[in-house]
Amino acid sequence: MRIVVLVSGTGSNLQAVIDAVKAGGLDVEIAAVGADRPGTYGVERSAAAGIPTFVVDFKSYADRASWNAALTSAVEGYTPDVVVSSGFMRIVSPAFIEAFDGKYLNTHPALLPAFPGAHGVRDAMAYGVKVTGCTVHWADAGVDTGPIIAQEAVVIAPEDTEDTLHERIKIVERRLLVATLAALAAGQPNAGHPN
């Protein structure tokens, strides 16, 4: 199974996928890693691992539609079976979703449908819930919507800050993403949970 991974930041989820592939525990080919801005550590990680990279810099385009068209074209050039949004902080267009219909996987640091958007961890803490977690789902044209593949809960400790909670969620998120990709590679589209 060929995947293209999209990142906007450090690429810690991506690193978990790279490590699982190298260890032989994940039967996927990372065809490329793309970013929405230059200088991301996720792209640096990928280049260091010998994975092709590309940047479709959002700021280099006159409007969102032009950027989305360029991103779609760049990703299509690698003919992925699955596109993984892994900390990719840009909302893609319905045309992008349509181009990769049923193949665009997203991770989110909350138990969707609760707390969608860019601040899922902060929003969960502000609301006062005692349990949050992470979700892996097929992305559609909404914000953090689409069919859920796998979720795992994380208890919010009384001493948690947004940063400490997010770090604990990321540990679970990495494991859940790798398990989901392994299940998809094995032809089990709804068997993403590691347990």
Please give the positions annotated as active site: 108
Tokens representing residue 21 in the block: 């592939």
| Alpha-carbon gap, residue 184 to 1, rounded angstroms | 8
CB contact at 8 A, 6 and 82: no
| Residue 120 identity (one-letter amino acid) | G
Tokens representing residue 148 in the block: 């859920």
| Alpha-carbon gap, residue 144 to 136, rounded angstroms | 10
In the block, which residue shows the tokens 């400790």? 157
| Alpha-carbon gap, residue 120 to 105, rounded angstroms | 17
